Amino acid sequence: MWSAGIGGIASRVRKSRKSKAIAAVVGALLAGGGAFATMNWAVGLNSGSSGQGESATVNNLTISAVASPAPSNLLYPGGNGDVVLTVANPNPFPVTLTGVDLPADTSYANGYTSSALTSAQSGCSSSTPSDVIWNYSTSTAGSVHTLSTPLVVAASGQANNPLTVTLTNDASMTIGAPAACEATYFSMPSLTGVVAAAGGTPATTTPTVDAWSS
């Protein structure tokens, strides 16, 4: 009798637990069904909803003389030579450089005794004059000359900025250059402008070679 009684109690306990489990599952399904039904309630958007953006400030490029890599083509009276420089882009976006504006052909380079461009070469200056000018410059300042290949200067803080460029044979020494300008390093006359615009990809890899040919 004790065994039978205990068995009956155990059976009722098992049935009670099973009922609770079924009730829990049903409750979960009902709750899930309620949540699903709520997600079907469409929500619209008020007219005029928007957000705020801001454009960057545009900053000018900086072009500077640099000693490395050394030019392959050297100047001599009546000949042309390479110009090596860097182009630095301070903007948070890349810039594509497609051309330069040259000073007049009466603007001459200053000569120096070393590639540091700190000690002037006696008798070889812009006022002597050195007779070293930008190739294809004209009698009018601001003449525009297009690069053979557009240069994409990466955004500030990115690789390949500053960009080192060798301009092949874009310096010229006239036949009348003084003897004092032999074995001399030159700081070319300042460019009067550039042709450049925001954007461009991929960035040009430094160092690179380019030129204008007219």
**Cβ(55)–Cβ(91) below 8 Å:** no
Digits of tens for pLDDT over the chain (214 positions)?
Answer: 343 444 554 455 455 555 555 555 555 554 555 555 568 899 999 999 999 999 999 999 999 999 999 999 999 999 999 999 999 999 999 999 999 999 999 999 999 999 999 999 999 999 999 999 999 999 999 999 999 999 999 999 999 999 999 999 999 999 999 999 999 999 999 999 999 999 999 999 999 999 999 9
Threshold 0.75, pTM exceeds: yes
Distances (CA, A) of 192 to 61, 102, 108: 12, 6, 14
Q: Would you call the peptide bond into 71 cis, given omega within 30 degrees of 0 as the criterion?
A: no
How distant is the alpha carbon of residue 100 from its chain centre? 18
Residue-level pLDDT at 39:
80
Residue-level pLDDT at 11:
52
**Cβ(204)–Cβ(139) below 8 Å:** no
Residue-level pLDDT at 14:
52
> Quick count: other Cβ atoms within 10 Å of Cβ 3?
7
**Cβ(61)–Cβ(89) below 8 Å:** yes
Tell me, letter by letter, the H, E, C secondary structure of 47-97.
CCCCCCCCCCCCCCCEEEECCCCCCCCCCCCCCEEEEEEEEECCCCCCEEE
How distant is the alpha carbon of residue 115 from its chain centre? 27
Expressed in angstroms, the distance from the first to the final Cα of the chain is: 117
Strand, coil or helix: 212: coil
